[in-house]
Structure 1
Protein backbone atom coordinates (compact mmCIF):
# COMPACT_ATOMS: atom_id res chain seq x y z
CA UNK A 1 0.00 0.00 0.00
CA UNK A 2 1.35 3.46 -0.89
CA UNK A 3 2.34 5.76 1.93
CA UNK A 4 0.13 8.78 2.39
CA UNK A 5 1.55 12.17 1.51
CA UNK A 6 1.10 14.56 4.46
CA UNK A 7 -0.33 18.05 3.85
CA UNK A 8 1.44 21.27 4.78
CA UNK A 9 1.69 21.82 8.50
CA UNK A 10 -0.68 24.80 8.35
CA UNK A 11 -3.76 24.08 6.18
CA UNK A 12 -4.76 27.75 6.27
CA UNK A 13 -1.57 28.53 4.35
CA UNK A 14 -2.39 26.37 1.35
CA UNK A 15 -1.95 28.19 -1.98
CA UNK A 16 -4.63 28.93 -4.54
CA UNK A 17 -4.40 27.08 -7.86
CA UNK A 18 -5.24 28.81 -11.13
CA UNK A 19 -4.46 28.39 -14.84
CA UNK A 20 -3.59 30.68 -17.73
CA UNK A 21 -3.91 29.73 -21.41
CA UNK A 22 -0.69 30.13 -23.40
CA UNK A 23 0.24 29.53 -27.03
CA UNK A 24 2.94 27.54 -28.79
CA UNK A 25 3.46 26.89 -32.53
CA UNK A 26 1.59 23.60 -32.06
CA UNK A 27 -1.47 25.12 -30.37
CA UNK A 28 -2.76 26.19 -26.97
CA UNK A 29 -1.84 24.85 -23.55
CA UNK A 30 -2.70 25.70 -19.97
CA UNK A 31 -0.04 26.68 -17.46
CA UNK A 32 -0.89 26.13 -13.81
CA UNK A 33 0.25 28.56 -11.16
CA UNK A 34 0.08 28.56 -7.37
CA UNK A 35 -0.72 31.82 -5.65
CA UNK A 36 -0.14 33.06 -2.12
CA UNK A 37 -1.09 36.28 -0.39
CA UNK A 38 -3.59 39.00 -1.28
CA UNK A 39 -4.83 38.58 -4.87
CA UNK A 40 -5.32 42.36 -5.03
CA UNK A 41 -1.70 43.11 -4.14
CA UNK A 42 -0.15 44.59 -7.29
CA UNK A 43 3.38 43.96 -6.01
CA UNK A 44 4.08 40.51 -7.45
CA UNK A 45 6.88 38.07 -6.73
CA UNK A 46 7.18 35.51 -9.53
CA UNK A 47 9.02 32.33 -8.44
CA UNK A 48 10.09 29.95 -11.21
CA UNK A 49 11.45 26.48 -10.52
CA UNK A 50 14.18 24.25 -11.97
CA UNK A 51 14.11 21.81 -14.87
CA UNK A 52 12.18 18.89 -13.36
CA UNK A 53 10.58 20.61 -10.40
CA UNK A 54 7.27 22.47 -9.79
CA UNK A 55 6.05 25.73 -8.34
CA UNK A 56 5.43 24.03 -5.01
CA UNK A 57 9.18 24.11 -4.37
CA UNK A 58 8.61 27.66 -3.11
CA UNK A 59 5.98 26.87 -0.46
CA UNK A 60 8.06 27.94 2.54
CA UNK A 61 9.50 31.01 0.82
CA UNK A 62 6.01 32.03 -0.30
CA UNK A 63 4.65 31.65 3.22
CA UNK A 64 7.40 33.94 4.49
CA UNK A 65 6.61 36.63 1.89
CA UNK A 66 2.84 36.33 1.46
CA UNK A 67 2.16 39.42 3.60
CA UNK A 68 4.42 41.56 1.41
CA UNK A 69 3.69 40.17 -2.05
CA UNK A 70 1.22 38.40 -4.19
CA UNK A 71 3.53 35.40 -4.61
CA UNK A 72 2.96 33.47 -7.84
CA UNK A 73 4.68 30.14 -8.48
CA UNK A 74 3.93 28.59 -11.89
CA UNK A 75 4.35 24.98 -12.90
CA UNK A 76 6.32 25.52 -16.11
CA UNK A 77 4.58 23.77 -19.04
CA UNK A 78 5.17 20.02 -19.03
CA UNK A 79 5.46 19.89 -15.24
CA UNK A 80 3.10 19.44 -12.32
CA UNK A 81 -0.48 20.54 -13.00
CA UNK A 82 0.35 22.23 -16.31
CA UNK A 83 -0.42 20.72 -19.71
CA UNK A 84 2.15 18.87 -21.77
CA UNK A 85 3.18 20.31 -25.12
CA UNK A 86 2.13 18.56 -28.33
CA UNK A 87 5.63 19.03 -29.76
CA UNK A 88 8.46 18.23 -27.32
CA UNK A 89 10.85 20.38 -29.38
CA UNK A 90 9.12 23.39 -27.79
CA UNK A 91 10.45 22.54 -24.31
CA UNK A 92 12.99 25.35 -24.57
CA UNK A 93 13.59 28.69 -22.88
CA UNK A 94 11.99 30.87 -25.60
CA UNK A 95 8.67 29.03 -25.12
CA UNK A 96 8.92 29.35 -21.36
CA UNK A 97 9.60 33.08 -21.70
CA UNK A 98 6.53 33.48 -23.92
CA UNK A 99 4.42 31.69 -21.31
CA UNK A 100 5.70 33.96 -18.55
CA UNK A 101 4.84 37.05 -20.60
CA UNK A 102 1.28 35.70 -20.89
CA UNK A 103 1.15 35.11 -17.14
CA UNK A 104 2.49 38.59 -16.37
CA UNK A 105 -0.20 40.09 -18.59
CA UNK A 106 -2.80 38.16 -16.54
CA UNK A 107 -1.35 39.34 -13.22
CA UNK A 108 -1.02 43.04 -14.18
CA UNK A 109 1.57 43.93 -11.52
CA UNK A 110 2.78 47.48 -10.95
CA UNK A 111 6.07 45.98 -9.77
CA UNK A 112 7.50 42.57 -10.55
CA UNK A 113 10.26 40.86 -8.57
CA UNK A 114 11.69 37.49 -9.58
CA UNK A 115 13.15 34.40 -7.90
CA UNK A 116 14.44 31.78 -10.33
CA UNK A 117 16.03 28.46 -9.43
CA UNK A 118 18.34 27.05 -12.12
CA UNK A 119 16.14 26.95 -15.27
CA UNK A 120 13.85 29.52 -13.63
CA UNK A 121 16.78 31.91 -13.37
CA UNK A 122 17.64 31.44 -17.05
CA UNK A 123 14.02 32.19 -17.97
CA UNK A 124 14.13 35.39 -15.91
CA UNK A 125 17.45 36.48 -17.41
CA UNK A 126 16.26 35.79 -20.95
CA UNK A 127 13.05 37.71 -20.29
CA UNK A 128 14.97 40.65 -18.82
CA UNK A 129 17.32 40.63 -21.80
CA UNK A 130 14.42 40.77 -24.22
CA UNK A 131 12.80 43.60 -22.29
CA UNK A 132 16.02 45.61 -22.08
CA UNK A 133 16.64 45.22 -25.81
CA UNK A 134 13.06 46.12 -26.75
CA UNK A 135 12.36 49.59 -28.18
CA UNK A 136 9.17 49.50 -26.14
CA UNK A 137 11.23 49.70 -22.94
CA UNK A 138 10.73 52.95 -21.10
CA UNK A 139 14.07 53.88 -19.53
CA UNK A 140 12.49 56.65 -17.50
CA UNK A 141 10.60 54.02 -15.52
CA UNK A 142 12.93 51.07 -15.89
CA UNK A 143 10.06 48.87 -16.93
CA UNK A 144 9.51 45.65 -18.83
CA UNK A 145 8.64 46.50 -22.44
CA UNK A 146 6.61 43.36 -22.92
CA UNK A 147 3.61 44.64 -24.84
CA UNK A 148 1.32 43.72 -21.96
CA UNK A 149 -1.59 45.74 -20.72
CA UNK A 150 0.69 48.07 -18.79
CA UNK A 151 4.43 48.60 -18.41
CA UNK A 152 5.76 46.53 -15.51
CA UNK A 153 8.43 48.28 -13.43
CA UNK A 154 11.48 46.11 -12.88
CA UNK A 155 12.05 45.20 -9.30
CA UNK A 156 14.69 42.87 -7.87
CA UNK A 157 15.88 39.52 -9.20
CA UNK A 158 17.24 36.45 -7.40
CA UNK A 159 19.23 33.89 -9.40
CA UNK A 160 19.41 30.63 -7.47
CA UNK A 161 22.53 28.68 -8.45
CA UNK A 162 22.53 29.68 -12.10
CA UNK A 163 24.27 32.11 -14.39
CA UNK A 164 25.02 32.79 -18.05
CA UNK A 165 27.67 30.03 -18.14
CA UNK A 166 26.74 26.52 -16.96
CA UNK A 167 29.20 23.78 -15.97
CA UNK A 168 29.16 20.97 -18.54
CA UNK A 169 29.75 18.23 -15.95
CA UNK A 170 26.66 19.33 -14.05
CA UNK A 171 24.59 19.46 -17.22
CA UNK A 172 25.72 15.93 -18.09
CA UNK A 173 24.68 14.72 -14.64
CA UNK A 174 21.21 16.20 -15.04
CA UNK A 175 20.92 14.78 -18.55
CA UNK A 176 21.48 11.26 -17.21
CA UNK A 177 18.26 11.19 -15.18
CA UNK A 178 15.89 13.81 -16.62
CA UNK A 179 14.39 11.40 -19.19
CA UNK A 180 14.47 8.25 -17.07
CA UNK A 181 11.08 6.63 -16.59
CA UNK A 182 11.36 5.95 -12.86
CA UNK A 183 8.37 4.08 -11.39
CA UNK A 184 7.88 2.97 -7.81
CA UNK A 185 5.37 0.85 -5.93
CA UNK A 186 5.30 3.21 -2.95
CA UNK A 187 5.73 6.88 -2.20
CA UNK A 188 8.51 5.98 0.24
CA UNK A 189 10.51 4.53 -2.65
CA UNK A 190 9.99 7.74 -4.61
CA UNK A 191 11.30 9.76 -1.66
CA UNK A 192 14.38 7.54 -1.53
CA UNK A 193 14.92 8.12 -5.27
CA UNK A 194 14.77 11.91 -4.92
CA UNK A 195 17.14 11.80 -1.96
CA UNK A 196 19.59 9.64 -3.92
CA UNK A 197 19.51 11.67 -7.14
CA UNK A 198 19.54 15.09 -5.45
CA UNK A 199 22.49 15.20 -3.04
CA UNK A 200 23.10 18.80 -4.10
CA UNK A 201 19.95 19.85 -2.26
CA UNK A 202 21.94 19.56 0.95
CA UNK A 203 20.82 18.11 4.28
CA UNK A 204 17.10 17.78 5.00
CA UNK A 205 15.11 15.90 7.61
CA UNK A 206 12.58 13.21 6.66
CA UNK A 207 9.74 15.72 6.37
CA UNK A 208 11.88 17.87 4.10
CA UNK A 209 12.53 15.02 1.67
CA UNK A 210 8.83 14.22 1.64
CA UNK A 211 8.07 17.84 0.74
CA UNK A 212 10.68 17.75 -2.02
CA UNK A 213 9.06 14.61 -3.47
CA UNK A 214 5.30 14.99 -3.12
CA UNK A 215 4.82 17.42 -6.02
CA UNK A 216 7.31 15.90 -8.48
CA UNK A 217 5.86 12.37 -8.23
CA UNK A 218 2.20 11.40 -8.41
CA UNK A 219 0.28 8.13 -8.22
CA UNK A 220 -0.84 6.70 -11.56
CA UNK A 221 -2.28 3.20 -12.06
CA UNK A 222 -1.00 2.07 -8.68
CA UNK A 223 2.54 3.35 -9.17
CA UNK A 224 4.38 6.55 -8.29
CA UNK A 225 5.70 8.19 -11.46
CA UNK A 226 7.41 11.45 -12.32
CA UNK A 227 5.04 14.40 -12.53
CA UNK A 228 6.54 15.81 -15.73
CA UNK A 229 6.73 15.05 -19.44
CA UNK A 230 9.77 12.83 -19.96
CA UNK A 231 9.97 14.07 -23.55
CA UNK A 232 11.47 17.33 -22.30
CA UNK A 233 14.76 15.44 -22.25
CA UNK A 234 14.78 15.43 -26.07
CA UNK A 235 15.67 19.11 -26.71
CA UNK A 236 17.87 19.07 -23.61
CA UNK A 237 20.00 16.24 -25.05
CA UNK A 238 20.11 17.66 -28.60
CA UNK A 239 21.90 20.89 -27.74
CA UNK A 240 25.09 21.32 -29.74
CA UNK A 241 28.26 23.02 -28.45
CA UNK A 242 27.69 25.77 -31.01
CA UNK A 243 24.13 26.40 -29.84
CA UNK A 244 25.22 26.41 -26.21
CA UNK A 245 27.99 28.90 -26.94
CA UNK A 246 25.58 31.20 -28.79
CA UNK A 247 23.06 30.98 -25.95
CA UNK A 248 25.75 31.73 -23.40
CA UNK A 249 26.83 34.84 -25.31
CA UNK A 250 23.24 36.12 -25.35
CA UNK A 251 22.83 35.48 -21.63
CA UNK A 252 26.07 37.28 -20.78
CA UNK A 253 24.89 40.25 -22.85
CA UNK A 254 21.61 40.27 -20.93
CA UNK A 255 23.45 39.97 -17.63
CA UNK A 256 25.89 42.78 -18.41
CA UNK A 257 22.98 45.15 -19.07
CA UNK A 258 20.61 43.96 -16.34
CA UNK A 259 19.62 47.26 -14.69
CA UNK A 260 18.12 46.04 -11.42
CA UNK A 261 19.53 44.87 -8.07
CA UNK A 262 20.32 41.17 -8.38
CA UNK A 263 21.19 38.51 -5.84
CA UNK A 264 23.10 35.40 -6.85
CA UNK A 265 22.71 32.39 -4.56
CA UNK A 266 25.32 29.65 -4.94
CA UNK A 267 25.68 26.25 -3.35
CA UNK A 268 29.32 25.98 -2.33
CA UNK A 269 29.52 22.50 -3.92
CA UNK A 270 27.51 23.43 -7.03
CA UNK A 271 28.37 21.59 -10.25
CA UNK A 272 26.23 24.01 -12.33
CA UNK A 273 27.31 27.49 -11.21
CA UNK A 274 31.07 27.58 -10.74
CA UNK A 275 32.73 29.93 -8.27
CA UNK A 276 34.52 31.56 -11.21
CA UNK A 277 31.26 32.27 -13.07
CA UNK A 278 29.66 33.68 -9.92
CA UNK A 279 32.65 35.98 -9.45
CA UNK A 280 32.46 37.10 -13.08
CA UNK A 281 28.79 37.91 -12.61
CA UNK A 282 29.56 40.18 -9.66
CA UNK A 283 32.48 41.80 -11.48
CA UNK A 284 30.57 42.44 -14.70
CA UNK A 285 27.40 43.85 -13.13
CA UNK A 286 27.70 46.41 -10.35
CA UNK A 287 24.07 45.80 -9.33
CA UNK A 288 24.82 42.21 -8.29
CA UNK A 289 26.09 40.50 -5.19
CA UNK A 290 26.56 36.82 -4.33
CA UNK A 291 25.81 34.76 -1.23
CA UNK A 292 27.18 31.23 -0.91
CA UNK A 293 25.70 28.46 1.22
CA UNK A 294 28.01 25.83 2.68
CA UNK A 295 27.10 22.15 2.57
CA UNK A 296 24.89 22.64 -0.49
CA UNK A 297 25.40 21.93 -4.18
CA UNK A 298 22.89 22.38 -6.98
CA UNK A 299 20.65 23.84 -5.88
CA UNK A 300 19.69 25.48 -2.59
CA UNK A 301 16.09 24.43 -2.00
CA UNK A 302 15.09 27.73 -0.31
CA UNK A 303 13.60 25.83 2.59
CA UNK A 304 16.06 26.63 5.39
CA UNK A 305 15.76 29.75 7.52
CA UNK A 306 19.10 31.17 6.42
CA UNK A 307 18.23 30.84 2.73
CA UNK A 308 14.72 32.26 3.16
CA UNK A 309 15.90 35.19 5.28
CA UNK A 310 18.67 36.03 2.82
CA UNK A 311 16.10 36.35 0.04
CA UNK A 312 13.57 38.17 2.21
CA UNK A 313 16.08 40.79 3.34
CA UNK A 314 17.25 41.38 -0.23
CA UNK A 315 13.78 41.69 -1.75
CA UNK A 316 12.43 43.95 0.97
CA UNK A 317 15.54 46.13 1.33
CA UNK A 318 13.86 49.11 -0.35
CA UNK A 319 10.71 48.69 1.77
CA UNK A 320 12.35 49.30 5.12
Structure 2
Protein backbone atom coordinates (compact mmCIF):
# COMPACT_ATOMS: atom_id res chain seq x y z
CA UNK A 1 0.00 0.00 0.00
CA UNK A 2 1.46 3.35 -1.00
CA UNK A 3 -1.33 5.57 0.37
CA UNK A 4 -3.27 5.30 3.63
CA UNK A 5 -7.01 5.06 4.21
CA UNK A 6 -8.70 8.04 5.89
CA UNK A 7 -11.25 7.38 8.64
CA UNK A 8 -12.90 9.39 11.41
CA UNK A 9 -13.86 8.55 14.98
CA UNK A 10 -16.34 10.59 17.07
CA UNK A 11 -14.93 11.98 20.32
CA UNK A 12 -16.90 13.61 23.09
CA UNK A 13 -15.94 17.08 24.30
CA UNK A 14 -18.34 18.65 26.79
CA UNK A 15 -21.78 18.65 25.20
CA UNK A 16 -20.54 18.23 21.64
CA UNK A 17 -19.20 15.42 19.50
CA UNK A 18 -16.29 16.14 17.18
CA UNK A 19 -14.71 14.05 14.45
CA UNK A 20 -11.09 13.04 14.82
CA UNK A 21 -9.42 11.86 11.62
CA UNK A 22 -6.95 9.00 11.46
CA UNK A 23 -4.88 7.51 8.67
CA UNK A 24 -4.64 3.75 8.46
CA UNK A 25 -1.96 1.65 6.81
CA UNK A 26 -1.72 -2.13 6.45
CA UNK A 27 -4.31 -4.88 6.84
CA UNK A 28 -7.32 -3.75 8.82
CA UNK A 29 -7.74 -7.27 10.20
CA UNK A 30 -4.22 -7.30 11.68
CA UNK A 31 -4.55 -7.49 15.50
CA UNK A 32 -1.09 -5.98 15.93
CA UNK A 33 -1.67 -2.21 16.00
CA UNK A 34 0.83 0.64 16.06
CA UNK A 35 -0.47 4.11 16.91
CA UNK A 36 1.72 7.04 15.81
CA UNK A 37 0.91 10.51 17.16
CA UNK A 38 2.42 13.75 15.84
CA UNK A 39 3.74 16.95 17.41
CA UNK A 40 2.04 20.24 18.31
CA UNK A 41 1.68 21.85 14.86
CA UNK A 42 1.95 18.73 12.73
CA UNK A 43 -0.47 16.02 11.51
CA UNK A 44 -0.66 12.27 10.98
CA UNK A 45 0.90 12.20 7.50
CA UNK A 46 4.25 13.00 9.11
CA UNK A 47 4.56 9.24 9.59
CA UNK A 48 4.06 8.22 5.94
CA UNK A 49 7.60 6.93 5.40
CA UNK A 50 7.69 5.15 8.76
CA UNK A 51 4.20 3.68 8.27
CA UNK A 52 5.07 2.32 4.83
CA UNK A 53 8.05 0.56 6.40
CA UNK A 54 5.95 -0.95 9.20
CA UNK A 55 2.68 -1.80 7.43
CA UNK A 56 3.60 -5.40 6.63
CA UNK A 57 3.96 -6.07 10.35
CA UNK A 58 1.38 -3.73 11.86
CA UNK A 59 -1.92 -2.09 11.23
CA UNK A 60 -0.49 1.43 11.52
CA UNK A 61 -2.85 4.17 12.71
CA UNK A 62 -1.81 7.83 12.55
CA UNK A 63 -4.41 10.25 13.97
CA UNK A 64 -4.74 13.95 13.25
CA UNK A 65 -5.14 15.36 16.78
CA UNK A 66 -8.18 17.65 17.07
CA UNK A 67 -7.53 21.07 15.55
CA UNK A 68 -5.13 19.63 12.99
CA UNK A 69 -5.17 17.97 9.60
CA UNK A 70 -8.57 16.54 8.69
CA UNK A 71 -9.94 16.63 12.23
CA UNK A 72 -12.51 19.09 13.53
CA UNK A 73 -11.51 22.37 15.13
CA UNK A 74 -12.81 23.10 18.62
CA UNK A 75 -15.00 26.13 19.34
CA UNK A 76 -13.23 26.62 22.68
CA UNK A 77 -9.43 26.85 22.60
CA UNK A 78 -9.31 25.63 26.21
CA UNK A 79 -9.97 22.14 24.83
CA UNK A 80 -6.55 21.98 23.20
CA UNK A 81 -4.90 20.27 26.18
CA UNK A 82 -2.90 17.05 26.55
CA UNK A 83 -5.26 15.34 29.08
CA UNK A 84 -8.20 15.88 26.72
CA UNK A 85 -6.18 14.56 23.79
CA UNK A 86 -5.44 11.43 25.84
CA UNK A 87 -9.19 10.85 26.28
CA UNK A 88 -9.65 11.26 22.52
CA UNK A 89 -7.00 8.60 21.92
CA UNK A 90 -8.79 6.16 24.19
CA UNK A 91 -11.88 6.64 22.00
CA UNK A 92 -9.68 5.84 19.01
CA UNK A 93 -8.33 2.66 20.63
CA UNK A 94 -11.89 1.61 21.41
CA UNK A 95 -12.79 2.11 17.74
CA UNK A 96 -9.83 -0.06 16.70
CA UNK A 97 -11.23 -2.87 18.90
CA UNK A 98 -7.91 -4.29 20.05
CA UNK A 99 -6.78 -5.06 23.63
CA UNK A 100 -3.36 -3.50 23.26
CA UNK A 101 -1.32 -1.19 21.05
CA UNK A 102 2.25 -0.12 20.52
CA UNK A 103 2.74 3.64 20.52
CA UNK A 104 5.15 6.06 18.85
CA UNK A 105 4.71 9.68 19.91
CA UNK A 106 6.68 12.63 18.61
CA UNK A 107 6.91 15.62 20.97
CA UNK A 108 3.28 16.36 21.95
CA UNK A 109 2.36 12.88 20.73
CA UNK A 110 4.85 11.48 23.22
CA UNK A 111 3.34 13.52 26.04
CA UNK A 112 -0.08 12.14 25.15
CA UNK A 113 1.48 8.69 25.11
CA UNK A 114 2.91 9.15 28.60
CA UNK A 115 -0.52 10.11 29.93
CA UNK A 116 -2.19 7.08 28.31
CA UNK A 117 0.61 4.70 29.30
CA UNK A 118 0.40 5.82 32.94
CA UNK A 119 -3.25 4.79 33.23
CA UNK A 120 -4.10 1.68 35.20
CA UNK A 121 -4.98 -0.95 32.62
CA UNK A 122 -3.41 1.09 29.81
CA UNK A 123 -3.60 -0.50 26.35
CA UNK A 124 -0.02 0.61 25.56
CA UNK A 125 2.38 -2.33 25.84
CA UNK A 126 5.39 -0.73 24.12
CA UNK A 127 6.11 2.98 24.09
CA UNK A 128 8.43 5.12 21.97
CA UNK A 129 8.90 8.73 23.11
CA UNK A 130 10.37 10.71 20.23
CA UNK A 131 12.43 13.61 21.58
CA UNK A 132 10.22 14.35 24.55
CA UNK A 133 10.11 13.64 28.26
CA UNK A 134 8.47 14.96 31.42
CA UNK A 135 10.75 18.01 31.46
CA UNK A 136 10.12 20.69 28.82
CA UNK A 137 12.91 23.23 28.33
CA UNK A 138 12.13 26.95 28.40
CA UNK A 139 14.27 27.69 25.33
CA UNK A 140 12.27 25.19 23.28
CA UNK A 141 8.99 26.63 24.51
CA UNK A 142 10.15 30.11 23.48
CA UNK A 143 11.26 28.89 20.03
CA UNK A 144 8.00 27.06 19.31
CA UNK A 145 5.98 29.96 20.68
CA UNK A 146 7.63 32.28 18.15
CA UNK A 147 5.71 30.66 15.27
CA UNK A 148 2.79 28.54 16.55
CA UNK A 149 -0.57 30.15 15.88
CA UNK A 150 0.61 32.45 13.11
CA UNK A 151 -1.43 32.47 9.89
CA UNK A 152 1.00 32.77 6.98
CA UNK A 153 -0.08 32.48 3.35
CA UNK A 154 1.94 31.23 0.38
CA UNK A 155 1.35 31.34 -3.35
CA UNK A 156 2.92 27.94 -4.01
CA UNK A 157 3.76 24.70 -2.22
CA UNK A 158 7.43 25.39 -2.87
CA UNK A 159 7.24 28.76 -1.08
CA UNK A 160 5.53 27.08 1.84
CA UNK A 161 8.16 24.34 1.98
CA UNK A 162 10.94 26.92 2.09
CA UNK A 163 9.24 28.87 4.90
CA UNK A 164 8.49 25.77 6.96
CA UNK A 165 12.02 24.51 6.54
CA UNK A 166 13.29 27.74 8.09
CA UNK A 167 11.59 26.80 11.38
CA UNK A 168 12.10 23.04 11.09
CA UNK A 169 15.82 22.51 10.62
CA UNK A 170 15.86 20.51 13.84
CA UNK A 171 14.15 17.70 11.93
CA UNK A 172 17.53 16.89 10.42
CA UNK A 173 18.73 16.50 6.82
CA UNK A 174 16.09 15.93 4.15
CA UNK A 175 16.29 16.10 0.38
CA UNK A 176 14.11 18.76 -1.32
CA UNK A 177 11.78 16.00 -2.51
CA UNK A 178 11.48 14.52 0.99
CA UNK A 179 10.77 17.90 2.52
CA UNK A 180 8.16 18.78 -0.10
CA UNK A 181 6.42 15.46 0.62
CA UNK A 182 6.37 16.32 4.32
CA UNK A 183 5.11 19.83 3.57
CA UNK A 184 2.15 19.04 1.31
CA UNK A 185 -0.06 17.54 4.08
CA UNK A 186 0.67 20.65 6.16
CA UNK A 187 -1.12 22.88 3.64
CA UNK A 188 -4.69 23.68 2.71
CA UNK A 189 -5.61 25.49 -0.56
CA UNK A 190 -7.71 28.61 0.00
CA UNK A 191 -8.40 29.63 -3.60
CA UNK A 192 -5.52 32.08 -3.73
CA UNK A 193 -2.70 29.84 -2.60
CA UNK A 194 -2.01 27.86 0.56
CA UNK A 195 -2.39 28.22 4.30
CA UNK A 196 -1.51 25.95 7.25
CA UNK A 197 -3.75 23.02 8.14
CA UNK A 198 -4.21 23.73 11.85
CA UNK A 199 -6.46 25.89 13.99
CA UNK A 200 -4.42 28.94 15.12
CA UNK A 201 -6.17 28.66 18.48
CA UNK A 202 -3.93 25.72 19.43
CA UNK A 203 -1.47 28.45 20.40
CA UNK A 204 -3.69 29.80 23.19
CA UNK A 205 -2.91 27.18 25.83
CA UNK A 206 0.72 27.12 24.76
CA UNK A 207 1.02 30.88 25.20
CA UNK A 208 -0.29 30.61 28.75
CA UNK A 209 2.62 28.43 29.80
CA UNK A 210 4.52 30.28 32.55
CA UNK A 211 7.66 29.11 34.40
CA UNK A 212 5.49 28.42 37.45
CA UNK A 213 2.84 26.28 35.81
CA UNK A 214 5.49 24.64 33.63
CA UNK A 215 7.29 23.49 36.78
CA UNK A 216 4.04 22.20 38.27
CA UNK A 217 3.22 20.41 35.05
CA UNK A 218 6.67 18.84 34.95
CA UNK A 219 6.17 17.40 38.44
CA UNK A 220 2.88 15.84 37.33
CA UNK A 221 4.46 14.41 34.18
CA UNK A 222 7.30 12.82 36.15
CA UNK A 223 4.72 11.09 38.38
CA UNK A 224 2.99 9.81 35.27
CA UNK A 225 6.28 8.68 33.79
CA UNK A 226 7.10 6.80 36.99
CA UNK A 227 3.77 4.96 36.70
CA UNK A 228 4.49 3.60 33.21
CA UNK A 229 4.85 -0.17 33.09
CA UNK A 230 5.42 -0.65 29.36
CA UNK A 231 8.93 -1.10 27.97
CA UNK A 232 9.98 2.34 26.75
CA UNK A 233 12.41 3.69 24.19
CA UNK A 234 13.42 7.35 24.15
CA UNK A 235 14.67 8.84 20.90
CA UNK A 236 16.71 12.02 21.13
CA UNK A 237 18.11 14.36 18.53
CA UNK A 238 21.66 15.06 19.68
CA UNK A 239 21.06 18.78 19.12
CA UNK A 240 17.57 18.88 20.67
CA UNK A 241 16.59 21.93 22.69
CA UNK A 242 13.44 20.26 24.06
CA UNK A 243 14.81 17.01 25.49
CA UNK A 244 18.19 17.53 27.12
CA UNK A 245 20.75 14.77 27.49
CA UNK A 246 20.36 15.06 31.28
CA UNK A 247 16.59 14.56 31.09
CA UNK A 248 16.99 11.57 28.79
CA UNK A 249 19.52 10.08 31.20
CA UNK A 250 17.14 10.61 34.12
CA UNK A 251 14.47 8.69 32.20
CA UNK A 252 16.83 5.71 32.12
CA UNK A 253 16.97 5.53 35.90
CA UNK A 254 13.34 5.77 36.96
CA UNK A 255 9.85 4.70 35.98
CA UNK A 256 10.06 2.25 33.07
CA UNK A 257 13.85 2.80 32.95
CA UNK A 258 13.81 3.62 29.27
CA UNK A 259 16.56 2.85 26.85
CA UNK A 260 17.80 5.86 24.86
CA UNK A 261 18.84 6.14 21.24
CA UNK A 262 20.44 9.39 20.12
CA UNK A 263 20.79 10.57 16.52
CA UNK A 264 23.62 12.85 15.42
CA UNK A 265 22.90 15.85 13.24
CA UNK A 266 19.29 16.12 14.41
CA UNK A 267 17.60 18.48 16.84
CA UNK A 268 13.91 18.47 17.72
CA UNK A 269 12.76 16.06 16.45
CA UNK A 270 13.79 12.98 14.44
CA UNK A 271 11.19 12.47 11.70
CA UNK A 272 11.62 8.70 11.28
CA UNK A 273 12.29 9.09 7.59
CA UNK A 274 15.67 7.37 7.26
CA UNK A 275 16.83 3.79 7.70
CA UNK A 276 18.77 4.44 10.91
CA UNK A 277 15.80 5.96 12.72
CA UNK A 278 13.23 3.51 11.36
CA UNK A 279 15.51 0.59 12.18
CA UNK A 280 16.01 1.70 15.78
CA UNK A 281 12.27 1.96 16.39
CA UNK A 282 11.44 -1.25 14.54
CA UNK A 283 14.04 -3.24 16.46
CA UNK A 284 12.65 -2.01 19.76
CA UNK A 285 8.98 -2.56 18.89
CA UNK A 286 9.52 -6.05 17.55
CA UNK A 287 12.02 -7.12 20.19
CA UNK A 288 11.25 -9.82 22.73
TM-score category by the smaller chain?
Answer: over 0.9
2 CA distance for matches of 1:297 and 1:310? Answer: 17
Q: Which has the larger radius of gyration?
A: 1
CA distance in 1, matches of 2:220, 2:96: 28
d(CA) in 1 for partners of 2:48, 2:98? 21
Instruction: Check the 8 A contact 1:26/1:87 in 2, yes or no.
Output: no
The runs of 5 or more residues in structure 2 that have no matched partner are none
Mapped contact 2:69–2:185 kept (Cα < 8 A): yes
Alignment counterpart, residue 306 of structure 1, candidates 251, 258, 276? 276
Answer yes or no: is 1:51 the counterpart of 2:40. yes
For the 8 Å contact 1:158–1:265, the answer to whether it is kept is yes
What is the CA–CA distance in structure 1 between the aligned matches of 2:214 and 2:257, rounded to whole Å?
26
How far 1:26 moved relative to its partner?
5.2
List structure 1 runs of 4+ shifted beyond 3 angstroms.
Answer: none
TM-score by length of 1: 0.88
Please state how far the C-alpha of 1:286 moved relative to its aligned partner. 5.2
1:36 and 2:6 equivalent?
no
Deviates more, 1:252-261 or 1:83-92: 252-261
SS in structure 2 of the partner of residue 13 of structure 1: coil
Q: What value does the CA root-mean-square deviation take over the aligned residues? A: 1.1
| 1:257 counterpart (209, 224, 227) | 227
Distance of 1:93 and 1:288 partners within structure 2: 22
Structure 1, residues 49-73: CA drift from partner, whole Å, max 9, x if none?
0001010011111111111111100
Q: How far off is 1:240 after superposition?
A: 2.9
Aligned counterparts of 1:189 and 1:128: Cα–Cα separation in 2: 39
Distance 1:78 1:235 in 2: 13
Q: TM-score, normalised by structure 2?
A: 0.97
Shift of the alpha carbon at 1:265?
A: 0.2
Q: 1:90 offset after TM fit, Å?
A: 0.7
Describe the superposition over 1:10-58 as per-residue Cα deviations: whole angstroms up to 9, x where unpaired. Answer: xx42101000011112511100000011111121110000001010011
- Report what 1:100 is aligned to: 89
The aligned residue for residue 154 of structure 2 is 184
Superposed CA deviations along residues 219-273 of structure 1, whole A, max 9, x for unmatched, are 1122210000011101110123332222211111111221111000000000100
Q: How far 1:108 sits from its partner (Å)?
A: 1.3
**Counterpart-to-counterpart distance in 1, 2:38 and 2:131:** 11
2: CA distance, partners of 1:230 / 1:302 = 26
Q: Determine the C-alpha separation between the residues in 1 that align with 2:208 and 2:84.
A: 17
